Amino acid sequence: MTAVIETRGLSKKYGGRRGKWALTDCTLSIPAGHVVGLVGPNGAGKTTLLNLATGMLAPTSGSIEVLGSRPAATAAQLARFGFVAQDTPVYTGLSVEDHLRFGAHLNPGWDAAVAHRRIDQLDLDPRQKAGQLSGGQRAQLALTLAIAKRPELLILDEPIASLDPLARREFLQVLMEATAEHEISVVMSSHLVADLERISDYLIVLVSSQVRLAGETDDLLAAHHLLTGARCTVGDLPSGLQVLSESHTERQSTFLVRSAGADASPAELGGDWSVAAIGLEDLVLAYMGRTATAGPGRIPLEVTR
Amino acid sequence: MTWFTLRQFRGQAITAATVLAAFAILLATTGPRLVNDFRSSGLSACHLNCGALVTRFTSDIQNGGSTIYVFLFYAGIVVLYLVPALIGAFWGAPLIARELETGTYRLGWNQSVTRTRWALAKLAIVGLASMAAAGLLSLMISWWASPVDTAINYGGPNAHSGLTRIDPLVFGARGIVPIGYAALAFALGVTAGLLLRRTLPAMALTLAVFVAIQILVPTVVRPHIIPPDHATTALDAANIASLTVRNGGQMTVTGPVSRPGAWVISNQTITRSGQLFTGPATSACIGPNARACTSWLASKHLRQSLTYQPATRFWPLQWIETGLYLVLAAALGWLCVWRVRRRQA
C-alpha cells in the first residue's frame, strides 16, 4: 500500500526567525485505506499539520508528500484530495445550489449525482443561503463539497468541534457512509478522542508540536497494557517493557506499559501481576500527559502516592 | 473559475449597470440640445475670432435650460473622478480581503484550481469590468460635453477661460484616462485588501492613496510627461490682463494669453534680464492715471514668459497617462498573484 501522506523531518515555524515552532521534526507515513484520527490538545499543531498536507502552508523545513506529490502543486494534485477546513467556511451570501455549481465548475471530477443526493438526504433547501444554515448543516455542506469532488483522500480539520452531539453523530455517519461507498482514505483531527474512537482505525497523537504515537488502533491497543501488582518500583518490572505512566497506592502499583514486541507481551507474565487491556481514550490521555522532556522509556513524571 | 467569479460579482455588476443606465438616460435626453445649440451657433464654421459665437452658444445653453447644463457639465467631471475611487474601494478592496476575512479562501484554494488561476480570474474579470464601466461612463460624458469642450477650445472673450479639456480639472474626466484610473484604483484596492486582510481598512487605504495620486499626478507628473512649450514675447503694455499693486509697491503684471485650448502651466512677466518682474511700482500705477502707468510699463521693456501645453497635446497626454496607469495596475496585479501564491494560510 502506498502512503497517502508521507512526511520527513517536517517542521513549521510561524512568524519569522524568532517565531514559534508549531510542528517540529515530524516524520510520518500514513498508509492508504485508513480512517486516521489525528488527536492532540488544542495548540498541539494538528491544524498546522493538516494545512501543510493541503498546501495551505509551506513547510519551514523538511518535506511532505500527499498522494505521492507536493500538495496543491498542480490542479491535478488538488483534484485528488478534499479538505474540510476548520470552522467549515462557506460563502454566506450564496445559496446551497450555488455551492454545488461552484463545486461543479471548479472540479473536473465533480459528481453531481452524489452531491444532489446528499443535499436531499440532509433535507437542505437548495435555495437557502448558506449564511442561514445551522452549524451542523454548514459542516454537512462543506463535507458534501469535499465528497462530491470524488477525492482519494479526505482531510478534515476539527469539522465537528463546534457541533452539538446530535449534529456530530450525523456528520460522522455521513462521513463513514461516504468513506465506505467511495473507498476514500480519511485523515480527521479532533481534540476529543471519543469522536475519533467511533470511526478511526489509525491513530496519530500530536502533543506540543511533536508526534508522540502513530499506528493502527488495533496494534496500538494490543501493545499497551495496564499492569497491576503489589507495590513495587519500575525496576521490578520484567525487561522489554516501556513504562508510560505509573501510579501507586499503599499496597498496589499500577503501570501503563508498552511492549516492544510480541515475544515480550505482558499477557504471558505470570505471578502476581494482573494484566488488563486499555481503552483508546486512556491510552491517548497517557501520551498526552507526558511532557516533551520524557523520552521513550524514561522514568515517568508523575508519581502519586 | 470564470463562472464563479461572475457569480460573486453579480450583485456589484447589477448595481453598476443600473447607475450607468440611469446616467445614460440623463445624458441622452439632455445631450441632443447641446449639439443643436452648437450647430445653430455657427461655431462649427468659425476659424478666427470666434469669441462672440462662443458667448452666444453659452448664453443659449443657459437661457433655455436654466442652470441644468452647467450643473451637468460639472457633475460629469465630479462623477468621473469619483467612479474610479469607488471602484477601487468597493470592487477592489473586498475582492480578496473578504475571502480572507470570512475564511472562504480556504474553501476556494482547495478546489481543483491553482491559486494562480484563482487570483488571475478574479483580477482579470473584475478588473476588466472596472475598466469597461469607467470607459463607458467617460465615453458618454465626453460625448455629451463635446460641444462645450469644443466651444471652450475656440476660446471665449477671455481667451484663457480655464476649463479647456486639457486643463487638469477636466483632463481626468475626458477621453481614455478614466479607464487607466479605474484599473489602477482597482489594483490598489485588491493589493490593500491582500496586505491588510480586512475589508474596511483596505477601503480606507485605497481611497487615501488614490486621492493622493489624483492630486499628485496632475500637479507634479503631468506637466513634465511631455516637456511643455515655452514662449517669450514682448509684453504689450497697452494690453495686459491684470495688474496688482500690493502695499509697499510690490507689483504683479500678467499678460494676456492667446493660445486657445491650451493648458497654461505658468504665465510670468519678466524683466529684460530675465528676472521675475515685481516692481516697485511708480506712483503713476497707484494713482488714477492709467496712461502714465502704461507708458511707464512700456519703458521697462517687459517680456511675457509662457509655459503651456498646447491643445493638440490632449490625445498624446491621454495615451501616455493611460499607459502609465495601466502599467502600474498590471504591476500591482502581478504583485497580488505572487502574494496569493506565497501566502501562508
pLDDT on residue A268: 58
**In this predicted structure, which of B45-59, B213-227, B294-308 has the lowest mean pLDDT?**
B45-59
Question: What band does A248 get if pLDDT is binned at 50, 70 and 90?
Answer: confident
pLDDT higher than 60, residue B223: yes
pLDDT on residue B292: 80
Q: What is the pLDDT of residues A77-115, one digit of tens each?
A: 999 999 999 889 999 999 999 999 999 999 999 999 999
pLDDT higher than 80, residue B148: yes
Q: What is the mean pLDDT of residues A276-297?
A: 70
Say how many C-beta atoms besides its own lie within 10 A of residue B272's C-beta.
10
Q: Are residues B183 and B328 in the same domain?
A: yes
pLDDT higher than 70, residue A302: no
Q: Are residues B196 and B329 in the same domain?
A: yes
Provide the edge-to-edge strand list for the sheet that holds B303-309: B229-234, B303-309, B263-270
pLDDT higher than 90, residue B315: yes
Is A106 in contact with B112 (Cβ distance < 8 A)? yes
Q: What is the pLDDT of residues A4-60, one digit of tens each?
A: 999 999 999 988 778 888 999 999 999 999 999 999 888 888 999 999 999 999 999
Contact A130, A138 (CB under 8 A): yes
Q: Are residues B330 and B297 in the same domain?
A: no
Q: Are residues B265 and B145 in the same domain?
A: no
In B, minimum Cα distance to A78 occurs at B112
B14/A contact by beta carbon, under 8 A: no
Annotate B108-138 with b (16+ C-beta within 10 A) or e (fewer): bbbbbbbbeebbbbbbebbbebbbebbbbbb
Rounded mean pLDDT of chain B?
88
B47/A contact by beta carbon, under 8 A: no
| Cβ neighbours of B110 in A, within 8 Å | 54, 56, 72, 78, 81-83, 85, 146
Domain count, chain B: 2
Q: Are residues B260 and B134 in the same domain?
A: no
Q: Are residues B105 and B244 in the same domain?
A: no
pLDDT on residue A19: 85
The pTM (predicted TM-score) of the whole model is 0.89
In B, minimum Cα distance to A51 occurs at B345
pLDDT on residue B33: 84
pLDDT on residue A131: 93
Q: What is the pLDDT of residues B102-126, one digit of tens each?
A: 999 999 999 999 999 999 999 999 9
| Cβ neighbours of A91 in B, within 8 Å | 8, 102, 104, 107
Is A78 in contact with B112 (Cβ distance < 8 A)? yes
Please, what is the end-to-end C-alpha distance for chain A in angstroms?
47
Q: Are residues B337 and B300 in the same domain?
A: no
CA atoms of A223 and B77, how far apart (whole Å): 80
Q: Are residues B183 and B254 in the same domain?
A: no
| Cβ neighbours of B102 in A, within 8 Å | 89, 91-92
Start-end of H helices in chain A: 46-53, 75-78, 96-106, 112-121, 135-148, 165-182, 193-199, 217-223, 280-289
B106/A contact by beta carbon, under 8 A: yes
Number of A:B CB contacts under 8 A? Answer: 78
Residue B98, all three cell numbers: 473578504
Q: Are residues B180 and B206 in the same domain?
A: yes
pLDDT on residue A227: 85
pLDDT on residue A1: 53
Is A51 in contact with B345 (Cβ distance < 8 A)? yes
Q: What is the ipTM of this complex?
A: 0.84
Question: Domain limits at B262?
Answer: 229-312
| Cβ neighbours of A79 in B, within 8 Å | 112
Residue bearing the bigger pLDDT, B320 or A276: B320
pLDDT on residue B181: 97
CA atoms of A40 and A42, how far apart (whole Å): 7
Q: Are residues B102 and B181 in the same domain?
A: yes
What are the DSSP calls for A143-210, one per residue?
HHHHHHT--SEEEEESTTTTS-HHHHHHHHHHHHHHHHHHT-EEEEEES-HHHHHHH-SEEEEEETTE
Cα separations in angstroms, A32 against A5, A48, B12, B109, B115: 8, 21, 45, 24, 27
Name the residue among B3, B115, B117 with its Cβ closest to that of A105.
Answer: B3
pLDDT on residue A299: 39
Say how many C-beta atoms besides its own lie within 10 A of residue A246's C-beta.
21
Q: What is the mean pLDDT of residues A236-259?
A: 82
B115/A contact by beta carbon, under 8 A: yes
Distance of CA B237 to the CA centre of its chain: 35
Q: Are residues B196 and B247 in the same domain?
A: no
Name the residue among B3, B102, B113 with its Cβ closest to that of A89.
Answer: B102
In A, minimum Cα distance to B341 occurs at A56
3-class state of residue A91 by DSSP = coil
Shortest alpha-carbon distance between residue B5 and chain A (Å): 10
**In this predicted structure, which of A41-50, A289-298, B64-73, B249-258 has the lowest mean pLDDT?**
A289-298
pLDDT higher than 50, residue A294: no
pLDDT higher than 50, residue A62: yes
- What sign results for the dihedral spanned by CA atoms B309, B312, B318, B323? negative
Q: Are residues B210 and B235 in the same domain?
A: no
**In this predicted structure, which of A83-92, B197-206, B242-251 has the lowest mean pLDDT?**
B242-251
Provide the edge-to-edge strand list for the sheet that holds A3-14: A20-31, A3-14, A61-66
In B, minimum Cα distance to A157 occurs at B106
| Cβ neighbours of B4 in A, within 8 Å | 101-102, 105-106
Shortest alpha-carbon distance between residue A142 and chain B (Å): 8
